Copies of this chain bind each other. A is one copy, B any other.
Amino acid sequence: MTRLVGDLNPPTRLLCGTGPTNPDPRVLRALAAPLLGQFDPAFTAIMHEVATLGREVFQTSNPRTFAVSGTGRAGMEAAIASLVEPGDRVLVANCGRFGDLFVDLAGRYGGRVAQVTAEWGRVIDPGAIADALKREPAKIVAVVHGETSTGMLQPLDEIGRICRAHHALLVVDAVVTLGGVAVRVDDWGIDLCSAGTQKCLGCPSGMAPITYNDRVERAIAARRTPVVSNYLDLSQLQRYWSPERLNHHTLPTSMTYALREALRLVAEEGPPARFQRHRRAGAALKAGLTAMGLALFGDPERRLPMITAVHIPAGVDDEAVRAQLLEEFGVEIATAFGPLRGRIWRIGLMGYNAELRAALAVLTGMEHVLRSRGVDVPLGAGVEAARHAYHEGIDSPAGA
């Protein structure tokens, strides 16, 4: 066995797919810190700090702010599993794969699911949500803030007001947006917001920051039936994270260290500077791709700064290009799902990689890989346009 499995020696990659991104070296160092027992006062102090820093990044005063011990998907499932009872009406704003996931989760937990949909590449009109709620009220409205599958940013403030007016709970997936654009949980009237660690927070995957207000807490407490999941039962997890320290699972110690360091980096940089960094890096990449002659995908007014979706040139093999980019340049970009598979690439500049250097590396690699495959891409134009956009301080339109 020893001979078969050698030393761990991962190759160096610039991770510009949809996550994980490369973490700040400080986050990697935090992972290697010595462990503590889960009820050690030194560790519960760290949990307290994670909650405090979490409230800052979610822009909330919710006491119930902690992290679910699983990936972003686990956070979304914890929300739905804890809130949805059989027969509850759940309205999903669906314009991509993560809207589909909300539909799947709500159905699994017995919800009566209705959808307001938009074409992939567009966002949901808040008026359509209001109309749907007028036709039939819902207990929960589930919305994806940043739809990673299409690269679109869904404005939330108006949806928050609509949900409040219709006495629906607004549940938001902020997996790709938290730490990269503003997520104003309290100001926008988001009742529950769930995220992930491996995107704009710049941490490995494995935990899901979550926050919810007393409306959600009361709704969970008022359930007629018990929550099916034990591991993802928010009513138990909130007691574990509270001073009560209910014994539940054993919190992933090293990942908690990493999340603390990642959140501390957000606080040190300051959210406005961090959001601007993501906007500028995204704008530089978009300018460069356009100058290379590639066409950006989706509604130009709603593009995410941290995920750029771009059409694959006609006749070009999605997988072969990505493999060559990885092998020759050490650069990872992402494929797409469902109807967009083979039609677009998705390029992430998130967290530690939301920098000009990463945009330029992607553009350089793509230029040469595409040229080597016969696509007519001008030499150097992508990098030049990206540098120009960056230094002119041009921001992506979305994500203010």
Contacts and interface: CB of A to CB of B under 8 A. Distances in A.
Contact of A326 (B34, B38, B40): B40
A28 to B, nearest CB: 5
Contacts of A5: 49, 52-53, 260, 264, 267
Given A8-B261, A248-B73, A252-B206, A230 B32 contact: no
A142 interface: no
Given A1-B56, A10-B33, A108-B228, A20 B258 contact: no
A339 to B, nearest CB: 15
A165 interface: no
Contacts of A254: 28, 31, 204, 206, 254-255, 258
A247 interface: yes
Interface of A: 1-2, 4-5, 8, 10-13, 15, 17, 19-23, 28-38, 40, 42-43, 46, 49, 52-53, 56, 69-74, 77, 81, 101, 104-105, 108-109, 196, 198, 204-206, 226-232, 247-255, 257-258, 260-261, 264, 267-268, 326, 332, 334, 337
Chain A to chain B: the 4 pairs with minimum beta-carbon distance, closest first: A206-B252, A1-B267, A31-B31, A32-B32
Contact of A11 (B30, B42, B227, B229): B42
For this chain, the copies found in one complex come to 2
Q: Is the interface of A mostly helix, strand, loop or mixed?
A: loop
A231 B37 contact: no
A140 to B, nearest CB: 17
Contact of A13 (B37, B46, B101): B37
B10 A36 contact: yes
Nearest to A29: B32
